[in-house]
Structure 1
């Protein structure tokens, strides 16, 4: 049975670390410009409550996906690290993860949720648009060509 929980225990954070590592390996670029190694080492780091959250999706005992939330301004949060293991895709898990992290953002009192993505992530972009995200001007420097920035009013 599929479950979505805020990852807080050491065991849950170990599973998140594994998923984050798989996510990074699936990309055709390295996340060094985001200080990814430090992020992994310090989990939950800036995703820690009360301002952040990491949602872990499990199917029975298996970790299948995750998404994270962090504060970037007093009324604005950022969604990061949406990832679903390939064998579990096309089952609505990504949509459920995003819906869960949006709900967590609302509970924390944020007004806006932002994210950054790339044109090559077409399925993710379609998902974000279907949930009400729209493109906005860059809110940070991203060295990757074509980086897209999106925002949702919560």
Structure 2
């Protein structure tokens, strides 16, 4: 059984998942310069500016993701991560849909995100979930692709 638990990004479980995610990305990053790690600030992922979720599967934390406000109507999805053993179960799509729903509840009409082309499965998930390619909206040194999706306010 899956569950999404809202938590502080600084919570021990959230921090451990983020550290695991950053370690994984650093070890698999295709650029010789390397992956740039930046742990998110608690304030950025606290309502109404944003929020952070831990994904639980059968009571065990297996992933995370958050949203943060870039301006009044545009939110960004960040740090979507599932442990390898939790993949291919629809959890990534469910997490993304939940983050979109929550962003709309917080007033977003658009959600954006960035990723690296080396994460082919992530790119496929975003495109099949209605995201379209856009011009870069930030200077994230880890990103090669930027996406956006229009949301319906609830």
Q: TM-score, normalised by structure 2?
A: 0.86
Pair 1:129 & 2:127 matched: yes
Contact 1:118 1:148 in 2 (8 A): yes
Map of 1:103-114 to 2, 5 A cutoff? Answer: 103-114=101-112
Q: Distance in 2 between matches of 1:143 and 1:98?
A: 23
Structure 1 residue 9, shift from structure 2 partner: 9.4
Query: Partner of 2:17 in structure 1?
Result: 19
Structure 1 residue 30, shift from structure 2 partner: 2.6
Runs (5+) with no aligned partner, structure 1: none
Q: Distance in 1 between matches of 2:68 and 2:62?
A: 21
SS of alignment partner, residue 73 of structure 1: coil
Q: Distance in 2 between matches of 1:97 and 1:143?
A: 25
Q: Kindly report structure 1 stretches of 4+ aligned residues shifted beyond 6 Å.
A: none
SS of alignment partner, residue 23 of structure 1: helix
Counting helix residues as a fraction of each chain, which structure ranks higher?
1
Q: Distance in 1 between matches of 2:54 and 2:89?
A: 16
Matching residue within 53, 56, 71 for 1:55? 53
RMSD (Å), alpha carbons: 1.7
1:115-141 per-position Cα deviation (integer Å, ceiling 9, x unaligned) = 000111110111101111000011111
SS of alignment partner, residue 97 of structure 2: helix
SS of alignment partner, residue 49 of structure 1: coil
Query: When the two structures are aligned, how many residues end up with a matched partner?
Result: 144
Contact 1:55 1:100 in 2 (8 A): no
Q: Structure 1 residues 4, 143: closer, same or farther in 2, change over 3 A?
A: closer
Runs (5+) with no aligned partner, structure 2: none
Structure 1 residue 142, shift from structure 2 partner: 2.8
